Structure 1
Amino acid sequence: MATPLIQMALDSLDFDATVALAEQVADSVDIFEIGTPCIKHNGINLVKELRSRFPNHLLLVDLKTMDAGGYEAAPFYEAGADICTVLGVSGLATCAGVIGAANACGAEAQIDLINVGDKAACSLACVEAGAQIVGVHTGLDAQAAGDTPFDDLAMIANLGLDVRVSVAGGINSSTIQDVVRAGADIIVVGAAIYGADSPADSARELRELVDAA
């Protein structure tokens, strides 16, 4: 199994602060995620800015598309996004629209399983439609209620799908090696990095833990 990629969630609404944080952690992460509030506030210009500054990093735009999949995602792929997300609860037609837009640009579509009832069935259908990444995602509100992504990750990983599995939901230095061992291909980290006294040091520690797992 290849070493999992680390995805850094950039969630600030401040354009300059987002770029500055990316600069601090770039040496230790593989994917920059422009989080949903961040992309809503800053728009496509932030995609273009990060693409120009970090040509060797993957760039994920967390659109969480719910309708008009291809129409919504296409401009972001054209601006340099490598991955866009679409909500599994949107239905197969919307997911297929984002998949089609991704394919047209040589990029990837990620199915976000947040709030999906039957996560296995959704994953199977979307992978059959051509999705390249399935995202196990425990959102902030669910985390506040005590939920974690670990059971869902194990279930999706055990399906043996020929795609990458991403996992997000409160992952930190004490849990990241467990996530690696559970079969994640992409590990999303947010607050554990941007909430640290030194984001660069925190990102470096997480990189070392993943590489050692």
Structure 2
Amino acid sequence: MFPKLQIALDNASFSEAITDIKDVVNEIDIIEVGTILLCSEGKRVVKYLKTLYPNKIIVADAKIADAGKIITSMMFDVGADWTTVICSADISTVKGALEIARQAEKDIQIELIGHWSFDQAQQWRSVGVKQVVYHRSRDAQASGVKWGPEDLNKIEKLCSMGFNVTVTGGITAEDIKLFKDLPIYVFIAGRAIREAKYPNQAANQFKQEIMKYWK
């Protein structure tokens, strides 16, 4: 199975996000309403995008830290298919969010950013979590941190535990080959597509690289 391609709409305004997605939607499997956009414009963006693109998976990147049931319900009620829970959240928050997801026949993802452990990962699996997002942070990227063997080893272990692993954090099309031996579920690209001179071509390049290494 080919990994899916997700665009992160981390725009600061609704109008910018709509312009960006219209350019590339035919190349994209999943549309993410990024945390920045959610904070700037609110959950109405989720509702609008699901209305506009009902056949696309819509992710609300809420990075839920508390009130798992309440916030998960809020995201699903406006059309999100998936929403994210931050890895530092208490396990009761994770369980609450997962309960709502199951009732709605939708899903949550644990966002692995900052400090987390494989003991926590085992807890998430034991309560039924299926998805994790392995995240190289925006600030780490800015400080020059590159993808390396440590990342690949962690991702491989998460896959072996039975998680569907999404990978994100400044990924470029040239980075895709680094993950070719792993059963990646989703690749997320943001600025590499949105800020490209020709965004549709940039998105297509991601798809071509994915098809090249996963057959």
Query: Under TM normalisation by the shorter chain, which class is it?
Result: over 0.9
Distance 2:98 2:146 in 1: 28
Check conservation: 1:7, 1:33, Cα contact below 8 A: yes
TM-score where L is the length of structure 2: 0.92
Matches within 5 A, 1:125-164: 125-148=123-146, 150=148, 151-159=150-158, 160-164=160-164
Task: Give 3-state SS (helix, strand or coil) of 1:62's partner.
Answer: strand
Change in Cα spacing, 1:149 to 1:113, as seen in structure 2 (3 Å) is farther
- Report the Cα distance in structure 2 between the residues aligned to 1:158 and 1:212, rounded to whole angstroms: 24
SS at match of 1:89: coil
Contact 1:157 1:165 in 2 (8 A): no
Q: Which amino acid aligns with 1:17?
A: E
The 1:24–1:164 alpha-carbon spacing in structure 2 relative to 1, beyond 3 Å, is same
Q: Amino acid of the residue matched to residue 185 of structure 1? A: Y
Percent identity at matched positions? 28
Which structure 2 segments of 5+ residues have no match? none
Give distance in 2, aligned partners of 1:35 and 1:149.
22
> What SS does structure 1 have at the residue aligned with 2:39?
helix
- Residue 42 of structure 1 aligns with which residue? 41
How well do the aligned residues superpose, as a CA RMSD in angstroms? 1.5
Kindly indicate whether residue 54 of structure 2 is the aligned counterpart of residue 55 of structure 1.
Answer: yes
Question: 1:123 aligns to what?
Answer: 121
Query: Moved runs in structure 1, 4+ residues, more than 2 A?
Result: 145-154, 156-159, 179-183
Correspondence for 1:173: 173
Q: Distance in 2 between matches of 1:99 and 1:40?
A: 23
2:71 alignment counterpart: 72
Q: Once the two structures are superposed, what CA deviation does each residue of 1:40-80 show, in whole Å capped at 9, x if it has no partner?
A: 11111111110011111111110011111111111111211
Question: Partner of 2:190 in structure 1?
Answer: 190
Q: CA deviation at 1:207?
A: 0.8
Q: Which runs of 5+ in 1 are unaligned?
A: none
Alignment of 1:95-106 (within 5 A): 95-106=94-105
Residues 125-155 of structure 1, C-alpha deviation per residue, up to 9 Å, x if partnerless? 1121121211111111111223245533432
Rate the CA distance shift 1:10–1:114 in 2: closer, same or farther, 3 A: same
Q: Give the drift of 1:90.
A: 1.3
Q: Secondary structure at the match of 2:173?
A: coil
Aligned length: 211
SS where residue 90 of structure 1 aligns?
A: coil
